[in-house]
Amino acid sequence: MTATAAQAPNPSISDTFYTSLFEVDNGERIRACLQCGTCSGVCPFGYLMGFPPGRMIAYLRADRFENVLESDTVWMCVSCYACTAVCPKEIPLTPGLMTRAKEELLLEGNVPTELQDALMNSQRYGNPLGESPRKRAEWTKGLDFDIPTFREAKRPVDVLWFVGDYPSYHPRVQLTTKAMAKILRVLGVDFAILGPEENSDGDSQRLAGERGLFEMLAEKNGKAFGKYEFNEIITSDPHAYNAIKNEYPKLGINFPVQHFTEFVADRIDELKPHLKDIGERRVTYHDPCYLGRANDIYDPPRKLLGAIPGVELVEMTHNRTNSLCCGGGGGGMWLDGFQWEKAHVRLSEWRIQEAVNVDADILAVACPYEPPRFEDAAKMVQGAGRLMVKDIAELLADSLKMEE
Amino acid sequence: MNKDILVVIEHIRGEVADISYMMIAAARQLAETTEGEVLAVLMGSGIENLAGNLAADKVIYLEDPQLANFTSDTYQQSLENLIRENNPRAVVLGHTSIGMEVASLLSAKSDLPLVSSCLSFSGENGSVKFTSQLYGGKILAEGLIPEPIALLTMVPGGYKPEDGQSSTPPLVITAAAPQFADLEISVKQYIEPETGDVDITSEPLLIAVGRGIQLEDNIEIAEELAEAIGGVVCASRPVVDQGWLPTSRLVGKSGYQVKPKVYLTLGISGAPEHTEGIAGSETIIAINTDPAAPIFNIAKYGVVEDIFDLVPVLTEKLEES
Amino acid sequence: MNIVVLAKLIPDLVEELEIDDSGTALDMTWLRLIINELDDHAIEEAILLKERTGANVTVLAPDIEGVDDILFTAAAKGAERLIKIVGDYESGVNNHALARVLTPVMKDLQPDLILVGVEAHEDLDGSIGPLLAGYLDLPFIGYVASIELEDGKATATKEYPGGLSVEMEVTLPVVLGIQVAEEPPRYVAVSKVRQAMKTAEIEELEAGDFDLAGGPTIDRMYQPEVSEGATIIDGSLDDIADSLIGIFKELGVQ
């Protein structure tokens, strides 16, 4: 490093990095940073990061980015967009600065082992869990109706359901996947899934600094999308939604996509006659970072919850743009051990505490990372004994089930 | 016609390894088919006493200071010589950090066929069949033991150590080692295992965790169960390689051989590298989500459940009672 | 200092294995191949030695589907030279055949150190490291967990069961069977591997005929019967926990 610094014509590591940030949409706004520190203050782990966003920018300006590369606390960033949402100069801190910093750390080999395993699995098997790609559609086996894959359907289909990693493989999340299948069936949607041809959307890997892996996975999905005829993509995974909507187009992969909650909210009048009272329930809704802050989808999930007879919707202290993070984003899903060692608190427990504070019976969620994370957290939080964590799809399906 | 079975006795620092007795038990079965004798080969210096309880027809004891510590070259040269002198039908070695390298070296240097990972043998019309364990114990392969002389390396599981032990001392023939040539390997020092921790080889109840535990933090659920029931947590190799538990808790081929009353496995698949260390357990109870996991083949009781669901319930009940 | 690492691709156990119609071999239709984990450790150890001593690292592998990926990944980690051994692997190869084919190759490469994973879960005819050492007339130490190089000698730490290790000194050249590298194999970013694909070159060497002598013939291959011994306890989590506690009591550990 010092050798390059000594040769005057060569830009320093800080310079190169700083310039590279301009390639991100609106990246040049970093020049306008006021050093107000709001980003570091709102960051859920800002208090124990060596270089929260504001400080990192200060170090860049002081030509000392090397110091950032020596620190491992950048891995505390859960890419939750909290900093980005509050920045008065609207600097793309999450997609630009923090993600680029992780990319540099990854290239340097400064990566926690846990995260390496998830990345290696994604490379090998197309999913971070290290499950067999052949078994990607195995969750459909427990249903009393068939879910066709495009390969089997052999015809144009209206909707491509991008199922996603955790909805396909995680035993807890599979319950929400099955619930979603039921709703699509009741709505009479003409849909199919990719099955083993689907790969991880790659978004969390990208936000964990593995851009090359993201591109590889995106290309595979793009190829699979291109093989079949359909009108739009839907997904229950905000991370997949974000990738297909905002990132795939940059790689020339252009397909219309809707989050499951948007898709169903548009059809709520068709669904309403089938929804029966689930009994009086105080329900609070957790805005997932990649539905809310990253993509401004706040109302459709609430519209769905409001349509379920018996639901009383209450808001937690942090909601909408200032919603709390479950801790799973940006690679956090694969850094639980690492982050626990540094912080000895879990972001998910903070969220559960807020749900308990508003005396909710049910914490409703809309992201596949959340049911296992919040259920796990609920076991640790006092007074959360009767709090249930349910995906909106599960609540809708429960309300449908009463009909039978 | 070659008839006798040579068994290479494995021992480290004055103790015969359990696999040696299992090999003798296997060799006795082989010798019955070939109508030959079981010849145990003991190599070392000042360790004649180790021959005492070997259930062999004869023990050939090669006494030489250069054999005091295992090196692959002295073992290979000694055995090459013994095979030439005795013309056995088979030479049985452990599929271990001693036996496997010697067997492979011998196979290449003496041009002898080799079958590795043998679990058991069976005789049929004068020929002898091997059953070997492949692909992490998920597949078994059978075939005939090549003629006229074959090298066989054995994994535990098919025979009991007791069947290779005898209270009547065998006939011991002490012989000189051959003139060793071109020795390139020398032993500098032994490095003792980490001490100060529990001795898992003398614990009556072990709770074993493997790759299925996923995260370092999750070790806690095993520790809590151990505390509730009064057991000790041990692990398979991946967990120790991650640094989540010390080497003193490592069970298996590269770790300790344990013999608890109850060995409870949490999410362990049952790869041979691990199960080699638990053959001496009285009762194995396995919990794994995969009903096809090989661990269920050696367990007495099995539960097909996610450890993360079941173990907290179990711990809670134990704490209540 | 020249280090040559030998890496093999073997069936990935994440997929369920099936037997083909002949009943004597694995069904290759759905088989995924993956680098032998211990060979991956051998590559890591070689790269660590390179970083410490400036040695040159060559990685060599049989030309089986997926081999380019593992070679380019090795290059991205720091290997200088990549070689694949081209041949007819379809009809079946064993470690004896592979070791014979590699013997003249290794003689040409003149390595000071040959590293290879100490075993692979598909080995039925011994492990390839000591077989190769035998054919090359080189010493062999297996189950190695660390290596020091000095003055034409290597000091290898060999692991025995029970946590005991032994330090052995050996004159170079030598073949070492790696049990575990001193650091877990590193992750390399996909972009680095893609870069290596553009810049690194894979040399090809012909294997010639495979001589399988020395390995056994398989007459039958099968999956062991599932749960032949285990009594399966089922029911609700509560029921299972109660049954287990009952068993613990019966066995006198509770």
Q: Where are the domains of chain A?
A: 2-110, 114-266, 274-401
Chain A hits for C187, CB-CB cut-off 8 Å, are 106, 109, 111, 116, 119-120
Q: What is the CATH number of domain B5-176?
A: 3.40.50.620
User: Is residue C198 in a domain?
Assistant: yes
Question: Which residue intervals of chain B bear CATH 3.40.50.1220?
Answer: 200-320
Residues C28 and C146 in one domain: yes
A105-114 confidence digits (pLDDT tens): 999 888 998 8
Q: Is residue C213, in this structure, part of any structural domain at all?
A: no
In sequence order, what are the residues at sequence separation of 6 or more whose Cβ sits closer than 8 angstroms to the Cβ of residue A358? A282, A284, A314, A315, A316, A317
Which runs of consecutive H residues, i.e. helices, occur in A8-112? Answer: 13-20, 38-42, 53-61, 65-70, 82-86, 99-108
CATH (residue range A274-401): 3.40.50
A316-341: pLDDT as tens digits:
999 999 999 999 999 999 998 788 88
User: Is B216's CB within 8 Å of A113's CB?
Assistant: no
B216–A171: do the CB atoms touch at under 8 Å? Answer: no
* Cβ within 8 Å, pair A337-B215: yes
Tokens of A267: 């059809």
Say yes or no for a CB contact (<8 Å) between C166 and B190. Answer: yes
Q: Which residues of A touch C16 (CB under 8 A)?
A: 132
Could C214 and B112 be called an inter-chain contact, meaning their C-beta atoms sit closer than 8 Å?
Answer: yes
**Environment class of A113 (CB within 10 Å of its CB; exposed 0-12, middle 13-18, buried 19+):** middle
Same fold, A2-110 and A274-401: no
What architecture is domain A114-266? 3-Layer(aba) Sandwich (3.40)
Asked if the structure places residue C212 within a domain, the reply is no
Q: Is A316 on the interface with C (CB under 8 A)?
A: no
C214 lies in a domain?
A: no
Identify all chain B residues contacting A337, using CB atoms and an 8 Å cutoff.
Answer: 215-217
The CATH classification number of A2-110 equals 1.10.1060
Do C30 and C85 reside in the same domain of the chain?
Answer: yes
Q: Which residues contact B222 (CB under 8 A, 6 or more apart)?
A: B207, B209, B213, B233, B266, B311
| Residue C216 included in any domain | no
Contacts of B178 (CB under 8 A, 6+ apart): B77, B78, B80, B81
In a domain, C217, yes or no: no
Residues B24 and B51: beta-carbon distance below 8 Å:
no
Q: What residue of C is the nearest CA neighbor of A118?
A: C187
pTM: 0.87
- CATH 3.40.50.620 segments of chain B: 5-176
Query: Contact, C141 vs C88, CB < 8 A?
Result: no
For residue C238, the chain B residues in CB contact (below 8 A) are 313, 317
Give all chains having 3 or more CB-to-CB distances under 8 Å with chain C: A, B
C111 located within any domain: yes
Chain A positions with Cβ closer than 8 Å to B: 113-114, 171, 336-337, 340, 379
Smallest Cα distance from C215 to chain A, Å? 32
Do residue C10 and residue C115 come from a single domain?
Answer: yes
Do C235 and C175 sit in the same domain of this protein?
A: no
Q: Give me the residue from B97, B282, B305 closest to C160, CB to CB.
A: B97
pLDDT tens across the length of chain C (254 residues): 999 999 999 999 988 899 999 999 999 887 899 999 999 999 999 999 999 999 999 999 999 999 999 999 999 999 999 999 999 998 889 999 999 999 999 999 999 999 999 999 999 999 999 999 999 999 999 999 999 999 999 999 999 877 789 999 999 999 999 999 999 899 999 999 999 999 999 999 999 999 999 999 999 999 887 556 688 898 999 999 999 999 998 888 87
CATH of region B200-320: 3.40.50.1220
Give C17 to chain A, closest Cα distance, Å. 12
B179 class by beta-carbon count within 10 Å (0-12 exposed, 13-18 middle, 19+ buried): exposed
CB contact under 8 A, C251 and B261: yes
Pairwise CB contact (< 8 Å): B116 & C123: yes
- pLDDT tens digits for chain B (321 residues)? 689 999 999 998 888 998 999 999 999 999 999 999 999 999 999 999 999 999 999 999 999 999 999 999 999 999 999 999 999 999 999 999 999 999 999 999 999 999 999 999 998 777 899 999 999 888 999 999 999 999 999 998 889 889 999 999 999 999 999 999 999 999 999 998 766 667 888 888 999 998 888 778 889 999 999 999 989 999 988 888 777 888 889 898 778 888 899 999 999 988 877 887 887 788 999 999 888 788 888 899 999 999 999 999 999 999 887
Kindly state whether C190 is in contact with chain B, defined as any CB-CB distance less than 8 angstroms.
no
Contacts of C22 (CB under 8 A, 6+ apart): none
- Per CB-CB distance under 8 Å, the chain C contacts of A106 are 187, 189
- Is A358 an 8 Å CB contact of chain C? no
Domain count, chain C: 2
Rg (CA), chain C: 21
Please name the amino acid found at residue A60.
L
C33 touches chain A (CB under 8 A): no
Cross-chain residue pair B97–C158, CB shorter than 8 Å: yes
Choose the mutation target among A135, A170, A336, A376 for the interface with B, i.e. most B CBs under 10 Å.
A336
Domain span including residue C34: 2-206
Which is nearest to C61 in space by CA: C12, C11, C4, C104?
C4
Quote the tokens at residue A310: 């018996």
